[in-house]
Structure 1
Amino acid sequence: MSSVNGYVDRVWAEGVAGWSLAPRVLVSVNGTALGSVPCTNRRPDVQAAGLSADGVVGFRAPLSLASGDIVRVTTPQGRPLRHSPWLYLPPESEGWLPVSLASRHPEYAEIAVLAGQLALTRFRPLFGQPGQVAAVKLDAGEGPRVACFGVAPRDADHLQHFHERVLTPAGVACPALHHRVGLGKRQALIFDFFPGRPLDRLGPGWEAWLPAVMDELARLQRFGEQHRHRLRARAGRKRPLLHRLLRRAMSDALRWNRARGERRFLLWLLARLVRLPRVLSHGDLHRENALVDTERGDIALIDWDRWGYLPIGFDLALLMRGLPGDTAERLAGGSPAQRLGVVGFTYLFQRLDRPGLVDSEEGRALRRRCRELAGVE
């Protein structure tokens, strides 16, 4: 994940609202641009989080939406805000749309093609999750499934192998991969439908689900240790976000105007993080990839195409991104190596997300804690 651009907080029949650090945002509905909207409303919550100096970052745009309309909000540079695109569905729809709508709507073109090969009755787009994903209701009593579109055949082979050889025998909580459907040069992967919401959308108290997610990570790590000899040479088809984070930090450390003390600390921290024990990891475990069914008390982890053997603590730091370092360390617990990984990667994420962190008291506290944990290790 890149640095924070802003969020779409709410979409309703008459409008869209959120915030962005850009002076203006661009709003479109069903691919048609409606114009730019200034970010001039005061948002004390964004200011209190340290993401804006004055908090004047909010926007609100009037709309007139119908069931199935898709709202996109981007910065002027075309970077989408979190939770964009957003599908508008009135409560009476229960989230489902008739398949007949797909052929008349360019946003759902792949659903229409899939409907020609499977006995679909209705579909539920799940925008806001990684990739182009939709739930589809199948006939013949199969119940709902999730279709992930636009997958290259080699990537599909790799992911199917990981599900069959790792996730299923390890018993990791994730939707089962049922079959693949060819759609031209790309494929759609059909998974079980998990009736949950992303951890990021549960609101205050989402941290209560962290122990359940950590149990699944521990199960994955134990399986990875037992089968390291045959898994080590493999990895997900996409590179983990770890590589992008480390490259960004190294580039920042070598900038000519970087303060000597911060440069020295960054190089020191990077050297220790890359030497941490490597464990079998999800590789992209932000909170949109952890689903929670609050009624049944179940969880599921999705989007496994960045898996690999990564430094211990990386998955947890990404999952808890945005929490203060001391809170993340307390919730993660574990060995000194794991705590160093959580705090160290939290520092790297916080540097991206919070301008001015380096010179803040929290930044100084995080650097002190990293050194203390390295000493313990």
Structure 2
Amino acid sequence: MSVVSGYIDRVWAKGVSGWSPSPHVVVSVNGIPVGSTRCTGTRPDVQAAGLSPDGRVGFSFPLSLSDGDIVRVTTPQDKPLRHSPWLYVTRNGEDWLPVSLTACHPEYSEIADLSEHLSWKQFRPLFGQPGHISAVKFDSGEGPRVAHLGVSADSVSRLHHFHEQVLTPAGIASPTLYHKLNIGERQALIFDFFPGQPLDRHGPGWEAWLPTIKAELERLQRFGEQHREYLWQPGSRKLTLVARLIRHALGDALHWDRAHGERGFLFWLLRRLHRLPRVLSHGDLHRENVLVDAGSGHIALVDWDRWGYLPIGFDLARLMRGLPGDIAEQLAGGSQMQRFGVAGFTYLFQRLDRPGLVNSDEGEALRRRCRLLAERS
């Protein structure tokens, strides 16, 4: 985990634009670098959000794009900006690309092998983190499906078990899992397609969907509590995001030049967060993993391979990452322990995303709030 690398705001036929705190960004199309551009444009919105001292972080780069082109923008250290990669599709493309494109497009080599196992004529690539094609939407003849690619054996076991033993019987809003395919040494999972957009793509006002999402998390937690002693959790080689976050904070607290006051607060906070009740959790509930169908009002939570019993409040803090601590706590609501979990994990996320937070008035206010909530809970 590291500080925010910036955002792609827009991709159109003749260019890409966005912002980054890096001096310059590198632009690639279909895996081939096409140039770099300096980040010096004025962005008052970024400055107002406290992500840049002077707001001179904007960029724009000219391109000439066709249907199916994939645009990537990275920092000089090869870290992708948020929303990178970006699939360019014209409005009249009806959301589909011809499957013949996989044979000649270097970005689609990961999904070309699917052609031998699926009867399909049209597809659309979907992306995971940190920017690889992790899934593909395809026309199955019986309706759209989604194939998740390159899934490891342990992830297949965890996901298959979780869908059968938890998501389906608990009625959690999530796409139906149909079956799995063996593709060489890899495996693919086939899911029903949910016709929604990631929460992050809905722009300002996405917080209006929080009550619906919270209701799903509460249903998941109740089911997890009722079946805790029977719910077998297969092992995973993936380190949980909670563990990664705490490891980073602990390492930072032990750094030789860390101020004594901040070191003491981090040790105190980590002990308190460790004592929070563990509830059945998604484990990676960022806003790209919440799909919203604005027309029907339905949602779907996806990418459950990091599920587990995690400290209460972590899922909501992950979901609301980027919001000020007081707003995140207010939107989270719930018990005092949940509010403390949200405030505490928000502080750890904010330290990563905003290096100046520690010495700011906002940082001090959030530390005070954490202590108050801990006393009450």
Q: TM-score, normalised by structure 1?
A: 0.97
Cα deviation for residue 127 of structure 1 reads 3.2
Cα distance in structure 1, aligned partners of 2:233 and 2:188: 27
Cα distance in structure 2, aligned partners of 1:238 and 1:227: 24
Cα distance in structure 2, aligned partners of 1:236 and 1:42: 45
Structure-1 residue corresponding to 2:135? 133
Structure-2 residue corresponding to 1:16? 16
Structure-2 residue corresponding to 1:76? 76
Aligned to 1:175, what secondary structure does the other structure show? coil
**Pair 171,321 (structure 1): closer, same or farther in 2 beyond 3 Å:** same
Cα deviation for residue 236 of structure 1 reads 5.2
Cα deviation for residue 129 of structure 1 reads 6.4
Structure-2 residue corresponding to 1:212? 212
Cα deviation for residue 128 of structure 1 reads 5.8
Cα deviation for residue 81 of structure 1 reads 0.7
Cα distance in structure 2, aligned partners of 1:124 and 1:30: 15
Is the CA contact 1:129–1:289 (under 8 Å) kept in the aligned structure 2?
no
Is the CA contact 1:237–1:305 (under 8 Å) kept in the aligned structure 2?
no
Is the CA contact 1:232–1:309 (under 8 Å) kept in the aligned structure 2?
no
Cα distance in structure 1, aligned partners of 2:324 and 2:236: 30
What is the Cα-based RMSD across aligned positions, in Å? 1.4
Structure-1 residue corresponding to 2:251? 251
Is the CA contact 1:87–1:127 (under 8 Å) kept in the aligned structure 2?
no
**Does residue 1:201 correspond to 2:201, yes or no?**
yes
Cα deviation for residue 161 of structure 1 reads 1.1
Where do 5+ consecutive residues of structure 2 fail to align?
Answer: none
Cα deviation for residue 278 of structure 1 reads 0.5
Structure-2 residue corresponding to 1:301? 301
Cα distance in structure 1, aligned partners of 2:100 and 2:234: 42
Is the CA contact 2:279–2:309 (under 8 Å) kept in the aligned structure 1?
yes
Letter in 1 for 2:54: D
Q: TM-score, normalised by structure 2?
A: 0.97
Aligned to 2:146, what secondary structure does the other structure show? strand
| 1:209-233: CA deviation from partner (whole Å, max 9, x where unpaired) | 0011111101110111011112365
Structure-2 residue corresponding to 1:181? 181
Equivalence map 1:219-368=2 (5 Å) = 219-231=219-231, 234=234, 238-368=238-368
Is the CA contact 2:158–2:233 (under 8 Å) kept in the aligned structure 1?
no
Percent of matched pairs sharing the same residue: 68
Cα deviation for residue 360 of structure 1 reads 1.1
Aligned to 2:229, what secondary structure does the other structure show? helix
Structure-2 residue corresponding to 1:30? 30
Is the CA contact 2:3–2:355 (under 8 Å) kept in the aligned structure 1?
no
Is the CA contact 2:224–2:279 (under 8 Å) kept in the aligned structure 1?
yes
| Corresponding pairs, count | 375
Is the CA contact 2:224–2:280 (under 8 Å) kept in the aligned structure 1?
yes
Where do 5+ consecutive residues of structure 1 fail to align?
Answer: none
**Pair 34,236 (structure 1): closer, same or farther in 2 beyond 3 Å:** same
Is the CA contact 2:3–2:352 (under 8 Å) kept in the aligned structure 1?
yes
